[in-house]
Homo-oligomer: A and B are copies of this chain.
Amino acid sequence: MSFERLNIKNMKGYKPGEQIEGPDVIKLNTNENPYPASPEVAAALKNLDTESLRRYPSPLADSFRKAAAKLNNVTEENIIPTKGGDELLRLAITTFVDTDEKIVVTQPSYTLYPVLTDVQGCVLIEVPLQHDWSMPSDFEAYLNSSGAKMCILVNPHAPTGRLLEANYLSQLADSFQGILVIDEAYVDFVDPKFQYNSVPLIKSKDNVLILRSLSKGYSLAGLRFGYGIGAQSLLKPMIYKTRDSYNTDTVAQRLATAALESVDYARGTWDRVRKSRASLTDGLKQIGLNTVPSQSNFVFCQVPSPISAKDLYEGLKQRNILVRYFDQDGLKDNLRISVGSDSENAVLLEAIRSLINTPDLD
């Protein structure tokens, strides 16, 4: 017998990126940081013992909240720690969007958004990006007329890496009657010269929720830790009502706190990734792959004929190099490649060059 609710029965689940193990695998498909977390995180890990795990954790991850508030120049009441950014997305939908209400996202975007919308049983509206992956020109007007309760924008955008300006987001938030979720999972890799900072928006707008993740910027994808930044009134129902009562654990809290407190080390890795991103982008262009200017830790590129993106993906996989291929309309000509270390990127470029020059052999 089948017991699921109808919307669950009818939905498809989320498919995580491949996690193939092995020392020879070059893994450029899930946007992990090529460098490990800071020595301070390593020290926090070594300081843990089983005695500290015997008790329940701090329900609200007090130390982490303090560290995140300090780093972002807000108060602790503007911070909600979560089990990865994904938990924040689920909480936001659970808390604010009823089953008959609408959520607007762009198309393409993070493939988890439709899954979470399906679980809640609300209505997802996907608005196609323009041909050059820029925002639809009438997006602000559309938001107002759609009656949507929530809009989720990932910035820098995934899978293209494009960055929207904070001014644009500010205007959207001002005119939008619902909640604007800005998913900044990749924000740490934005070039500092752009001076992108959306956090001040939360001080004047009670409908902006900013998502942060420690997975990429702090090299802690395995830890599952993220947080939200928003007005106190916006965070309160998530913190005190819909959140699982101990949603983050003692180990993750301590390591995540150490990570934020040693942000200078992380900044060094962001800088290295930005430099590698520039070389990787150049290398891809030289081989003839059309790239989108990226402000994230991945590069989105169009694969030129005669080889198809899928064949290139599979050829690379045969060489133990994993990149991300999206088997969906509008994306089938492209690959998303995480920025690896310089040596990983060099092996990748050589492999692409070889596959493109001899497509029939693979």
Contact = CB atoms under 8 A, between A and B. Distances in A.
Interface of A: 1-6, 8-9, 11-14, 16-17, 19, 27, 30, 32-33, 35-38, 41-42, 45-46, 48-59, 83-84, 86-87, 90, 94-99, 112, 115, 118-119, 149, 178-179, 206-207, 215, 219-224, 233-234, 237, 240-242, 244-252, 255
Contacts of A249: 83, 222-224, 249, 252
Q: Taking chain A's interface residues, is the majority helix, strand, or loop, or is none over half, making it mixed?
A: loop
Nearest to A225: B249
Nearest to A253: B222
Contacts of A33: 54
Given A5-B97, A49-B42, A50-B42, A56 B246 contact: no
Contacts of A224: 57, 246-249
Nearest to A99: B99
B1 A245 contact: no
A44 B255 CA distance: 16
A59 to B, nearest CB: 5
Contact of A83 (B41, B83, B94): B83
B13 A240 contact: yes
Contacts of A240: 13
A208 to B, nearest CB: 11
A237 B52 CA distance: 34
Contacts of A55: 19, 27, 30, 32, 221-222
